[in-house]
């Protein structure tokens, strides 16, 4: 019984680790507009190189002002995630938001 509880807790932690923070925010916040049939086409971390993501919002390249929907801390978390899984990263992620 004890063991089961530990395994259960471990799995919850693992899920949180693999599927939390930046990725969840990215899917929730960016995905609210960027999805199939949405007001903008799907975007994914592997669409751009890490450096390009880093500069993208800093240089206000995004066509819509997101400051009312996404706080600076959230954007930072999303950016970290995007850079960690960018086109030129070790683990590019191309299909988080399906095309």
Q: How many CB atoms lie within 10 A of CB 51?
A: 11
Residue 46 · residue 5 · CB < 8 Å: no
Q: Residue 52 CB, nearest distance to ligand HEC (Å)?
A: 9
Residue 78 · residue 21 · CB < 8 Å: no
Largest CA distance in the chain: 54
Q: Which of 46, 70, 86, 97 binds ligand HEC (CB under 6 A)?
A: 70
Q: Which of 27, 40, 87, 96 binds ligand HEC (CB under 6 A)?
A: 40
Give the interface segment with ligand HEC, choosing from 8-16, 25-33, 91-99 (CB under 6 A): 25-33
Q: Interface with ligand HEC includes 46 (CB under 6 A)?
A: no
């Amino acid at each position: 019984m004890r063991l089961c509880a530990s395994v259960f807790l471990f799995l919850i932690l693992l899920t949180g680790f693999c599927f939390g923070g930046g990725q969840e925010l990215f899917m929730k916040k960016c995905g609210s507009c960027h999805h199939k049939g949405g007001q903008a086409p799907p975007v994914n971390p592997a669409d751009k190189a890490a450096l390009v993501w880093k500069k993208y919002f800093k240089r206000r390249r995004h066509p819509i002002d997101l400051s009312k929907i996404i706080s600076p801390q959230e954007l930072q978390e999303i950016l970290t995630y995007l850079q960690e899984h960018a086109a030129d990263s070790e683990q590019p992620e191309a299909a988080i938001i399906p095309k």
